[in-house]
Amino acid sequence: MRVLIALRISNETDASTSLERQLQDCMAYVEERQNLGWQVVGVARDAHISATKSHPFDRPKLGEWLNNRAPEFDLLLFWKMDRFVRKVVDMQDMIKWATAHGGKSLVSAKEPALDMVGPFRAVIIDLFAAIAETEAQNISMRVKSFQNYAKSKNVWAKGNPPYGYESFRDIDGAMRLRVRETQKDVIREIYKRVVEDGEPYSTICDDLNARDIMSPGAERMSNRRKNNGDSPPIWRSRTITTILRSETILGWKCEEVKVPGKKYGVSQPIVTSAGKIRMADPILTDDEWAKLQEEMNSRPSSARRSIKNTTAYRGVVLCDGCGRNLYLFNPERQQGRPVYRCNKAANRESCGKGYAFRAEKVEEIVEATILRVIGDLPMHERYYVKGSNNTQRLHEIEQYVTELQRSIRPGGKNSSGFAKKSTEEEIAALHEEHDSLSAEGDKPDRYAYRATGETFRHMWERNKDNKDERTRHLLKAGVSIRLNPLIKGVSNTVDFGAEIDLGKSLHQPFTIH
């Protein structure tokens, strides 16, 4: 049994459940089973893993083992169930995964009752399925009924308040919203600049960013991410239009309504039998709101702009100067055309050569290069193959054959007549099996790939409207494209070369899982 030990802790302060303590217990557990052939092949330590990111597949260390190194272990040992998963349904996911990957075992070092190696495996699995179902029903019922209740009241039940407002505990104990003066000032300023000055969103953003006014995303940023040194989100045109399009700034309670067929939603007021729900004082008057919407509607549609403003093939298209990502920069109403550029302002470690490539040409060149080089390669999917352990079977055959041979010797129980003949035939058949098994040898567990029947070009064309999906395949295969200006020193150019790096795809087929 090749054992992977999985440890998780949300913070390091609690000595009784520290990673070291968990590790000691798990190592002792394996040691006691050394005579059964247990040996540790790896330890996945995930410290400081927050509750929201705690599904086993999403953890940095354990996730890597589960997603990409499954053939390297047979048994996953964790300290206690509540360290391993948060919800029973997560455990059920793990059981399904373990079954689909060669029947791996899941074992708790401190909870012998949950032993999934022994004869109760099937019982435990059924038990988990039943509990998971009940739990899922209960949770969704509880959450839904509370949210339905809260939705129709002027109470703030969950999540971050909309920009311009803050939550507070009212005298009756309920959470409500009130205007947050600093953010209200920002919204009113943006309103004036959009409606009265007709200023483009992008220059407003540049100015807000230059003045270090925190964007909504920056205000919401957790301390953990700040301490990690993550750079806070900046103002973008989309940030502004999202705020200005939502009736939350009129003080109405809104909800996010999904746009059919799109990943994003739009904010819409909740309407009850008594009309809209007043959450707080309005930041704009109805009259100002009407003018604002009219001005915004007269500008290029947000759908069109958002496509133009999204870096296509992010992570695939790189600067040849430094190998870092190029980002789409769209000057909108200023002179100049959209470009992909290596941006020192966005990325301090970039090369600073200021390379910029015309956007319309970039997408054309990327597509042409990719389809020319890898368009005809077949697409594959990955699947799990359980290995075969022939050594043991060979040993069995050898012992059995010895026994049979003894039985046909003079004086043995099959030493004459029909019994002798049929035993000899049996021996011959076993020899044959022995030969073919020993020729095959032991085979380890492994991933294998099978063709899906599609070429890369098929996939590309099928995802004409889904560049994210195209990008995902390119990133997965490790394909990148470096852009370099053909004439030295000339930036903002349509004269540039593209060099494709095939990454792993040279050695490993494209996969679609």
Burial of 178 (0-12, 13-18, 19+ CB in 10 A): middle
User: Whole-angstrom Cα distance, residue 161 to residue 155?
Assistant: 11
Minimum CB distance to Zn ion smaller for 309 or for 350: 350
Q: Check if the beta carbon of residue 190 is closer than 8 Å to that of residue 204.
A: yes
Minimum CB distance to Zn ion smaller for 351 or for 500: 351
Minimum CB distance to Zn ion smaller for 172 or for 349: 349
User: Whole-angstrom Cα distance, residue 435 to residue 440?
Assistant: 9
Minimum CB distance to Zn ion smaller for 186 or for 365: 365
Residue with tokens 């941006």: 343
CB atoms inside a 10 Å sphere around CB 470: 22
Residue with tokens 């798990």: 26
CB of 342 to Zn ion, least distance (A): 3
As given in the structure block, the two tokens for residue 31 are: 């040691």
Minimum CB distance to Zn ion smaller for 321 or for 338: 321
DSSP letter string, 4-48: EEEEEES-TT-GGG-HHHHHHHHHHHHHTTGGGT-EEEEEEEEES
CB of 355 to Zn ion, least distance (A): 6
CB of 319 to Zn ion, least distance (A): 3
Q: Check if the beta carbon of residue 456 is closer than 8 Å to that of residue 375.
A: yes
Minimum CB distance to Zn ion smaller for 351 or for 512: 351
User: Whole-angstrom Cα distance, residue 492 to residue 370?
Assistant: 23
CB of 484 to Zn ion, least distance (A): 10
Minimum CB distance to Zn ion smaller for 405 or for 492: 492
Residue with tokens 């070092």: 109
CB of 202 to Zn ion, least distance (A): 23
CB of 345 to Zn ion, least distance (A): 12
Minimum CB distance to Zn ion smaller for 319 or for 339: 319
Minimum CB distance to Zn ion smaller for 46 or for 320: 320
Q: Check if the beta carbon of residue 483 is closer than 8 Å to that of residue 352.
A: no
Minimum CB distance to Zn ion smaller for 215 or for 343: 343
Minimum CB distance to Zn ion smaller for 166 or for 320: 320
CB of 354 to Zn ion, least distance (A): 8
CB of 462 to Zn ion, least distance (A): 33
DSSP letter string, 287-315: HHHHHHHHHHHHSSPHHHHHHHTSPTTTT
As given in the structure block, the two tokens for residue 348 are: 């301090």
Minimum CB distance to Zn ion smaller for 174 or for 351: 351
CB of 351 to Zn ion, least distance (A): 3
User: CA of 153: how far to CAs of 205, 273, 279, in Å?
Assistant: 35, 12, 9
As given in the structure block, the two tokens for residue 412 are: 């043995």
For the chain, give the longest Cα–Cα distance.
113
Q: Which of 387, 494, 394 is nearest to 447 (CA)?
A: 387
CB of 298 to Zn ion, least distance (A): 38
Minimum CB distance to Zn ion smaller for 38 or for 329: 329
User: Whole-angstrom Cα distance, residue 437 to residue 70?
Assistant: 25
CB of 324 to Zn ion, least distance (A): 6
DSSP letter string, 194-226: HHTS---HHHHHHHHHHTTPPPHHHHH--HHHH
Q: Which helix (H) or strand (E) holds 255?
A: strand 254-258
CB of 260 to Zn ion, least distance (A): 40
455: which residues sit within 8 A by CB, 6+ positions away? 375, 376, 377, 378, 379
Q: Which residues bind Zn ion (CB under 5 A)?
A: 319, 321-322, 342, 350-351
CB of 491 to Zn ion, least distance (A): 11
Q: Check if the beta carbon of residue 344 is closer than 8 Å to that of residue 475.
A: no
User: CA of 225: how far to CAs of 105, 218, 221, 232, 451, in Å?
Assistant: 36, 10, 7, 9, 41
